[in-house]
Structure formats: structure tokens, C-alpha cells
Amino acid sequence: MKVIFSELVKLELDDAVAYYELEHPGLGINFKSEVRKNIDRIVKFPFAASVEKGEIRKSLLYKFPYKILYSIESDHIFIIALAHQHRKPDYWFGR
């Protein structure tokens, strides 16, 4: 199944990768890899993640305090947000 990312998700990913790279070289690359693995899991098992709100599902990253929020559309998966779990938890509702 095809995956489509919101432009804001791309910015969130870039910001998080840059932050983790500043904290510890290589950690940003590990973060990006974890996001990629999580998205691969979403594609294989789109209904496995729990429902966050309405039709929006959340998939938690294992090693980082982030969640991927997405919706399952008829012909693709739409990634709505890459959200930190402890900061402004509902900021993405308007997307």
C-alpha cells in the first residue's frame, strides 16, 4: 500500500533528526531508522495500531518517545503527524 506524508510530517522528522544528532552523533540516524521500521509495520498491518481519535490510529516508536498518527484511506495510508508523546499531545487535531 502506498504511503503519503503530510508536508508537516517531513518537517517534524527533520527537526527530530537534527535534535537527536545534536544530542549524540548517530542518534538522529537511529531515530530515522526507527521511524522507517515503524512505517513498514504500519504498511504490513495497518489495522494493528490502536485508535487515537475517530479514524486516526497511532503507532508508538519503541526506542523514542514519539508516535506516528495516520489514517487508512481507500488506496493509501496518510501519515498525519510524527508527534512527541509528552509535548502538546493534541496539537495535530486540526490536520
Q: Name the DSSP letter for residue 2.
A: E
What does the pLDDT read at residue 58?
95
67 φ/ψ angles, rounded to the nearest 5 degrees = -135, 150
Short-list 29, 23, 91, CA closest to 67: 91
- pLDDT for 1: 86
DSSP string computed for 63-83 = SSSEEEEEEE-SSEEEEEEEE
Q: Three cell numbers at 76?
A: 493509501
pLDDT higher at 40 or 92? 40
pLDDT beyond 60 at 85: yes
21 vs 71: CA distance, rounded Å? 29
Asked if residue 65 lies in contact with residue 31, where contact means CB atoms within 8 angstroms, the answer is no
Domains of the chain with CATH codes: 2-86 (3.30.2310.20)
Span of 6-10, 14-18, 21-25, 83-87 with lowest mean pLDDT? 83-87
**pLDDT (mean) for 65-91:** 88
- The model's pLDDT over 12-66, given as tens digits with 9 standing for 90+, comes to 999 999 999 999 999 999 999 999 999 999 999 999 999 998 999 999 999 999 9
